Chains A and B, each alone.
Chain A
Amino acid sequence: MKRLATFAALMAIVTATATACGGAAATDAGAEVDVYTTIDGTKQINASAPINPFNPVGSVFTGYNGMALAWARNHPTDPNRFYPALARSWTQSPDGAQVDIHLQPEARWSDGKPVTSEDVRVSIGLAYTQGGTAYALDPKAAGAAADVRVLDAKTIRVTQGANRSAAFLANLLSTVVVPAHVYGALLPRGFWDTLKVAQHDRGPAGERAKAVITGLADKVIAFSPEQDVSAGPFVLERVNPGAALLRRNPYFYNSRAIGPDKVKVLNYTGNEQIWNYLISGQLDNAPFTSVPAAVMERIRGARGSQVITGYSPVATSLAFNQSHKPYDNVHVRRALAYLIDREQVTRIAAPEGGTPAATTSGIHAKAARAWLGDGFAELEPYRLDPAKAAAELRAAGMKLRDGRWTMPDGSPWKVEIHVPASFSDWVSAAKSISSGLGDHGIDATVLTAADYSLYLSELAKGEYDLGFWLIGLGPSPYNIFQRLFGQANGWQMFGGRLTHVPPGTGGNWMGGPRTVEVAGEGLVDPGELTSRLNYVSPGEQRRIVGVLARIANEQLPAVQLWDYVNTQFVNTSRYTGFPPDDSEMLRLSSGVWMQLGMIRKRQP
Chain B
Amino acid sequence: MTVTALPGAAGRSRRATLRRNFWRGVWRVLRRKPSRMAGVAICALFAVMGVAGPLLYPAHLPRDDDALYAPPSLSHPFGTDFEGTDVLALVVTGSRYVLLTGLATAVITVALGTAVGLFAGFRRGWQDTLLMRLTDLNLAIPGLPLLLVLSTVWKFESPLEMGLVLGLLGWGGIARAVRSQTLSLRERGFIEAARGLGLPTTHIIGRELLPSMAPYIAMNMLIAVTGAVYAQVGLFFLGVLPFEANNWGVMLNLAVFSGGALTTPAALPYLLAPLLAILLLTLGIVLVVDAMDEIFNPRLREE
Contact = CB atoms under 8 A, between A and B. Distances in A.
A294 B262 CA distance: 11
Contacts of A421: 239-243
A422 interface: yes
Contact of A435 (B60, B239, B267): B60
Query: Chain A's interface: helix, strand, loop or mixed, by majority?
Result: helix
A274 to B, nearest CB: 10
B13 interface: no
A295 B255 CA distance: 12
A294 B69 contact: yes
Interface in B233-263: 239-243, 245, 253-254, 256-260, 262-263
A298 B243 contact: no
Given A294-B267, A432-B83, A275 B260 contact: yes
Given A450-B240, A451-B152, A438 B82 contact: no
A294 B264 contact: yes
Nearest to B149: A450
Contacts, number: 86
B83 A424 contact: no
Interface residues of A, number: 37
Contacts of A446: 243, 245
A348 B84 CA distance: 9
Interface in A26-76: none
Nearest to A291: B260
Interface in A359-406: none
Given A428-B83, A435-B83, A450-B152, A292 B260 contact: yes
A270 B257 contact: yes
B68 interface: yes
B250 to A, nearest CB: 9
B65 A344 contact: yes
A87 to B, nearest CB: 42
Contact of A431 (B243, B260, B265): B243
B180 interface: no
Contact of B264 (A298, A427, A453): A298
Nearest to B258: A424
A293 B257 CA distance: 13
Nearest to A347: B68
Given A348-B82, A421-B243, A294 B266 contact: yes
> Which one of A298, A344, A450, A453 has the highest number of Cβ atoms from chain B below 10 Å of its Cβ?
A450
A188 to B, nearest CB: 41
A428 B63 contact: no
Contacts of B151: 450
Nearest to A295: B260
Given A294-B264, A297-B264, A348-B68, A272 B82 contact: no
17 contacts: A275-B263, A291-B260, A292-B259, A295-B260, A295-B263, A421-B243, A422-B239, A424-B239, A425-B258, A427-B254, A427-B258, A428-B254, A431-B243, A448-B242, A450-B152, A451-B152, A453-B152
Interface of B: 60, 63, 65, 68-69, 82-83, 151-152, 239-243, 245, 253-254, 256-260, 262-267
